[in-house]
Chains A and B, each alone.
Chain A
């Protein structure tokens, strides 16, 4: 079931036929079809990407994802920066949740250089990653509601997110691009009184989520627009490389934090959040519940983390740091799925190749292009947001 409106039966007589190679035979001059561009002028919170829709009436017959509006060539730029010089640049790959770049890059460098980051640094890293996850989800919730015209949710979640940014600021020294997790460890420990202020922020997040639940998830209009819409077949999960909440909402318990625990996640007590219905509503709900898990994880981390000890491992002089030839892949579970860095070194002072695997890569291109067909135009924005894609991690 892809549409839940029984009184609407689409007239498919005008639909394009398929050509021999499987592509659609769309003759734009026939007047039957209309090209409609969703983006790149920021369609909702999906960032600067665009979907070139071919519509027939109200229905999408073909959608093509266009990315590259934010392409800066990170992977190329990193090849001409030393290992420490890459550290400030990686976080720019993903604005709403930059810390995974820092963590994955640092961990990849550490692994190839044979360095072990201190335990205390690992806890702080996990803390930062969970804080970032909360932020990313809060932004998503606002965007998902906003895509359906429910603007108030975004007003609330942005406020809660901003409080978390204040925590980020006092911990890392910056609001958005924290540049805190560096190869070898982290820059500094927790500031004084951080736990208390963090607890206040977490309470605010929880109370916001309660309001969001009442107004968004228990909302006849929202349900009507999202339940049963944008269904992802669990069978597609592996073949389309679907990870994170998109997979978990389809009942596949993919969560790197559990599957291959990194940092200190094996010492934390949590269960991946699962859903069954695999529609927009379920995906939103999985993310909402995932925030609660993260809130709990932040509390656990603060309760269990060591407060003393080194924060940086001994690293070679960063000005001429050379790493022997090798390759590795480091992954983490970000708010959108599996985030990973593939790093190849060649014994010089510069990375040979860095490849960033953002979860949006598969979600926003091959998956979206498949799912968008037969969708009503009005649901396109909602679907795009529900896949929770950030274009900079696609094009880097």
Chain B
């Protein structure tokens, strides 16, 4: 892993390596170099399998983290390539031509996080949701419980008691 990281570092301005396991590492790459890094990893380093592409919402930092997880099966190694995006108007270049499956991931990210991938096929078609009318649901600022309570009705008649408060009221009412 370290060897690979040193090599990458000599070629691209990549960040430090987070070595999660001996065969799994994470590295942050500037947005504009992502494509080059991915193609390099795929064609020169044997990371031919795009395991997944997903996003993490760091709401407090105002950033989206995109994780491209690549796998080199023969070496038994995985490398997660992280890209940090500004959360406002998040846009990222599409890699559907590097891995055709990426188009599906990008479609999902567009729908669930609201990240735009210009040029990705069928990006704006509905994928999972239908008739969604709120902010993209996987964003941290979307409150699923609140949405559920506002849109769907619960069966009435549920009520609960806090044991501590209930005991205090039962045992110590009257101040003694």
Contacts and interface: CB of A to CB of B under 8 A. Distances in A.
B57 A353 contact: yes
A291 to B, nearest CB: 24
Contact of B69 (A111, A342, A366): A342
Contact of B54 (A71, A254, A260, A342): A342
A329 B100 contact: no
Interface string B128-158: 1110000001101010110000000000000
Nearest to A369: B104
A177 interface: no
Contacts of A243: 49
Contact of A355 (B18, B52, B129): B52
Sort chain B's interface into a size bin: 35 or more
A239 B99 contact: yes
A327 B58 CA distance: 13
Interface string A343-382: 0100000001101010001100111001000000000000
A75 interface: yes
B12 to A, nearest CB: 21
A240 interface: yes
A73 B137 contact: yes
Contact of B144 (A77, A326, A342, A344): A77
A340 interface: yes
B52 A357 contact: yes
A155 interface: no
A76 B137 contact: yes
Interface string B51-83: 110111100000000010100010010101000
Contacts of A153: none
Contacts of B99: 239-241
B42 to A, nearest CB: 9
A340 B127 contact: no
B48 interface: yes
A316 to B, nearest CB: 21
B117 interface: no
Interface stretch (B1-9, B20-28, B85-93, B165-173): B20-28
A75 B128 CA distance: 13
Interface string A58-99: 000000000110010101110110000000000000000000
Given A77-B144, A342-B67, A329 B127 contact: no
Contact of B129 (A71, A79, A328): A71
Contacts of B126: 68
B38 interface: no
B52 A327 contact: no
A329 B78 contact: yes
A88 B119 CA distance: 39
Contacts of B67: 327, 342, 355
Contacts of A27: none
B52 A68 contact: no
Most buried by A among B18, B73, B145: B73
Given A260-B76, A395-B128, A240 B100 contact: yes
B51 A353 contact: no
A366 B51 contact: no
A163 to B, nearest CB: 35
Contacts of A370: 100
16 contacts: A23-B121, A68-B127, A68-B129, A68-B130, A71-B128, A111-B21, A259-B73, A328-B20, A329-B52, A331-B51, A342-B52, A353-B54, A353-B56, A366-B104, A367-B101, A395-B128
Interface of B: 18, 20-21, 23-24, 26, 48-52, 54-57, 67, 69, 73, 76, 78, 80, 99-101, 103-105, 121, 126-130, 137-138, 140, 142, 144-145
Given A329-B78, A342-B54, A361-B52, 12 more contacts: A68-B127, A68-B128, A76-B142, A76-B144, A241-B49, A241-B51, A243-B49, A326-B20, A327-B67, A328-B20, A342-B52, A342-B67
